[in-house]
Structure 1
Amino acid sequence: MSSPFSQTYKEARGKFLALAEEQGAVVVSTIHPTERGAEGEDLAIDIATFGDPDAEKTLFLVSGTHGQEGFIGSALQIAFLRDLVIPDGVNVVALHALNPWGFSHLSRTDENNVDVNRNFDDYGGGLVQDEVYPVLFRALCPDDWTEETIDWSDVREEVVRTHGAKHMVTVLAGGQRDEPTGLNYVGKGPSWSRTVVSELLPRVFAKSRRIAFIEWHTGLGPFAELSHLCSFAPGSPSYERVFGWIGDEARTSFSATFEVTGGEVPTYQGLFSAWLPSTAPQADWAGLLIEVGTLDNIAVGNAVRMDRWLRFGNGRSLASREEMRAAMMEGLNPSSAEWRGKALANGLDAQRRMLAGLMEW
């Protein structure tokens, strides 16, 4: 049996579409009208429905919201679906590559540097923009990538001292509209990805009445372990249902990944998983974003910063672009067999738990 992992977006998409054809899935695809992949290939959002398209219970699996994080999400979709016997009354919908440009070009963001997972919002309302952001931008996004410019610990400590950890991580990671070349840029309007799923998902979910979902990411948390971010209100039926299925210990797993800030997490704007239930208001929803851990906070943060520097940095660097790209990918998509094996096992367990919970719901 071939590996569910791929080395490129083109390979991952080929495996996904081949599996969909083999299983008789109903596939809807939208090809990007202007952009091409790193190998000159089509870039597409592919949505495949496995099982009865008219089933009232749907498990929805999403990969590639942040481009280079799509490799594990794609592998989890393929490994799960190729051996799955789908029960009556249930279908599994897999969205492959929400951000195909980033997946193919090995970048977190899309062709316009929009962070797709901050773009599902109103592009300004509620975003925290103040004197802290320019300070953080200069520290995190230097022109040069050297030992001197990489270290931002002094700036971090001063901002935390004067403004608090919660405020710092919200300004840093919650979404920003001021700097188009910066991290976590929300954009000035709907991204291509948002436009496509806004059109397709209401049609795909038209018959669904109960929908469970997992959106796959990487970076935060212990090596190959899972951490869980649920956008439903704590204590709500949807929130309690998720952790009843996944396990109570998962409730604090996301905040525990923020070691540098002592568990203080951002207030996010524009998350795909928070917007998603609006695509099928007739349905009851339960689901969450799951991170697969890779390295420590600073190492992962530096990987994201390297991704940004590879697109916009114009100064000196302590390593070649090829070396930086390889280091960046190790922070977000580790190549070791140990990480892949553990990540796949933990991710498949989570998908099985969500399916079992959906079946009993």
Structure 2
Amino acid sequence: MTDPLGDGFAPDYARARAAFRRAASAAGAVPGGHRLPGHAAPDGSPLTVDTAYLGPRRPAKLLVTVSGTHGVEGFAGSACQTRVLLDEGLARAAGPGTGVLLIHALNPYGFAYLRRVDQDNVDLNRNFVDHAAPPHNDAYDAVHAALVPQDAQDDAPFPARELAGELLTLRDRLGTRVFQEAVTRGQYRHPDGLFYGGRRPAWSHRVLRRIVAEHMAGAAHIAYIDLHTGLGERAAGEPIFRGGRDPGARERARAWYGPALTASEEGTSSSTPIVGNTASAVADGLRGGEELTAITLEFGTLPGPQVLLALCADNALHLRRPAAQAVCAPDKRLLLDAFAPADGQWRKSVLQRAREVFDQALSGLAGCDTKAR
């Protein structure tokens, strides 16, 4: 059974993928796929970035949604795409000249093995940078040792209580916002650490650039929504502005998404500024002249300290054990609670908020005047 609770949330990557592909076929979408070489899901099935497209061959307006940029966060993103856009028919209700592109499980390895990062411990949402001169976050160097305990690579139990106290002390000393930015902005010197942006373009990075070139470049108006979990008020669905680069982008996003829209750079978001996110890759890959209105839609789960502790525990787990063993470990419950809660009310609220935001995006696109361009 794909959906034992009947709420649209699959119990694992393989069944989420199967449900997405089945719903896309039923909706008449054009399928596409990119298989990750050299890796398979825990059940032996392929790891694939799947796409589904509905609409005219060369749309003037395009809604793009992405799930699973951060692997395990794909449970919510996949449910939003499969249940709301495909099963409920919202994608088919897009206006004339409007296409809908769904990118499912951009980081399939992380989705399948219940990790935010990919097969090389790379945080994909920090990977879209100039790797010849990466914008390293120097402040991370001062907190790395606290985030990755020295005994993380042996068989000792994870020191959750001790680490929690140390992290709270460090946060109080630095200040909440400074500490959050030091940890989460992105870092490029510690391959065993958190929020590691990598030393080269990741496989999923290259796949997304290919999808942008093949499906997005040339559309006059693009609404881009990257679906995430783990930050902010529980299940709130915060739209965080991520671009584009034309002078009217921020005002346009505000008109579409209303006063709920936040911006990391203005200090109004649950997210501090980050570098190398997927929206920057979309902006880089456009031909010029397209209007990109990009957001992250962020669904909160647990308080920030608990989420960070779950990330530290999961990082330590994968430093100690092979992925095939780690995915079954009891410690995985910490990460699932932080990024893919089993709470039925949380899931219901996520789907309802996704409906609202997808509808806002489609309404915004409908109001764009392509003739004036």
Structure 2 length normalisation: TM-score? 0.86
Question: Judging changes above 3 Å, is the alpha-carbon distance between structure 1 residues 191 and 223 closer, same or farther for their aligned structure 2 residues?
Answer: same
Does residue 61 in structure 1 map to residue 65 in structure 2? Answer: yes
Secondary structure of the residue aligned to 1:322 is: coil
Does the CA contact (< 8 Å) of 1:64 and 1:97 recur in 2?
Answer: yes
- After superposition, what is the alpha-carbon deviation per residue over 1:169-201, rounded to whole angstroms, capped at 9, x for unaligned? 333111111110100101110000011122232
Q: Which moved more, 1:117-126 or 1:5-14?
A: 117-126
Q: Does 1:153 align with 2:168?
A: yes
Opposite residue 136 of structure 2, the aligned amino acid is: L
Q: 1:284 aligns with which of 282, 285, 291?
A: 291
2:276 matches 1:267: no
Offset of 1:133 from its aligned partner? 3.0
* Equivalent residue number for residue 317 of structure 1: none
Structure 2 residue 236 is matched with structure 1 residue 225: yes
What's the CA shift string for 1:87-114, capped at 9, x where partnerless? 2211100000110000000000000000
Deviations 1:110-159 (A, max 9, x none): 00000000000013433222xx4343111122225222233222222333
CA distance in 1, matches of 2:190, 2:254: 37
TM-superposed deviation, 1:243: 1.5
Report if the CA contact (8 A) 1:108-1:307 is conserved: no
Choose the corresponding residue for 1:88, options 96, 106, 114.
96
Partner of 1:126: 135
Aligned counterparts of 1:135 and 1:128: Cα–Cα separation in 2: 10
1:76 aligns with 2:80: yes
Instruction: State whether structure 2 residue 203 is matched by structure 1 residue 196.
Output: no
Which residue, 77, 89, 112 being the options, matches 2:120?
112
Q: 2:43 aligns with which of 32, 39, 46?
A: 39
- AA of the residue aligned to 1:228: P
SS at match of 2:9: coil
SS state at 1:34 partner: strand
Where do 1:180-329 residues align within 5 Å?
180-232=191-243, 236-251=247-262, 255=267, 258=270, 266-282=272-288, 283-313=290-320, 322-329=329-336
Report whether the alignment pairs 1:171 with 2:179. Answer: no
In structure 2, stretches of 5+ residues that fail to align are 322-326, 369-373
- Measured in 2, the distance between the counterparts of 1:102 and 1:4 equals 20
Q: RMSD of the alignment, in Å?
A: 2.3
Q: Paired residue for 1:332?
A: 339
1:61 and 1:214 in contact (8 A); partners too: yes
- Match for 2:349: what amino acid? K
Name the CA distance, whole Å, in 1 between partners of 2:284 and 2:245.
19
Does the 8 A contact of 1:224 with 1:292 survive in 2? yes
Q: Is the 8 A contact 1:62 1:94 kept in 2?
A: yes
Q: Percent identity?
A: 29
Residue 10 of structure 2: SS of its match in structure 1? Answer: coil
The runs of at least 4 consecutive aligned structure 1 residues that moved more than 4 Å come to 252-258
SS at match of 2:143: helix
| Total equivalences in the alignment | 344
Q: Structure 1 pair 81/255, CA: closer, same or farther in 2 (3 Å)?
A: farther
* Matched residue, 2:371: none
Structure 1 residue 222 displacement after superposition: 1.1
Q: Closer, same or farther in 2 for the Cα pair 1:75/1:321, shift >3 Å? A: closer
Unaligned runs of 5+ in 1: 259-264, 315-319
Shift of 1:270: 0.7
2:42·2:113 contact (CA, 8 Å) conserved in 1? yes
Distance 1:239 1:252 in 2: 9
CA contact (8 A) 2:8 2:82 kept: yes
How far is 1:207 from its partner?
A: 4.5
- Aligned counterparts, 1:1-16, within 5 A: 3-16=7-20
The question of whether the paired residues in 2 share the 8 Å contact of 1:54 and 1:208 is answered with yes
Q: Deviations over 1:286-339 (max 9, x none)?
A: 12111101111111112222221221148xxxxx97332112201111101110
